[in-house]
Amino acid sequence: MEQMKKHPQNRTAREAGMRSLAQRLEFDVEENNGRFTLIRTTDAPRPVREEGLTLSEAEELLQTWKLRGFHGG
């Protein structure tokens, strides 16, 4: 029961972290019904747009960009 109470806070913290990383990597984040769309147009030959992502998928995509060295200004 204790974990159930902590879960919304954990998700809120994870989402805040994801949004912060997205901002640093120059992605816009949209949310619709608990799913995320990540959009990046800066320094991209074609806009990058990933839709319908779960929080975990959005975190993973952003971590991949970070590890590849794509940093915002």
In a domain, 26, yes or no: yes
- pLDDT tens string 37-60: 999 988 878 888 999 999 999 999
Q: For residue 2, is it within any domain?
A: no
Cβ burial, residue 56 (10 Å; 0-12/13-18/19+): exposed
CA atoms of 43 and 60, how far apart (whole Å): 20
Average model confidence (pLDDT) for the chain? 87
On whether residue 3 sits in a domain, the answer given is no
Establish if 73 belongs to a structural domain: no
Question: What was the pLDDT predicted at 43?
Answer: 81
How high is the pLDDT of residue 4? Answer: 44
In the chain, how many domains are there?
Answer: 1
Specify the higher pLDDT residue, 53 or 11. 53
Structural domain containing residue 59? 8-67
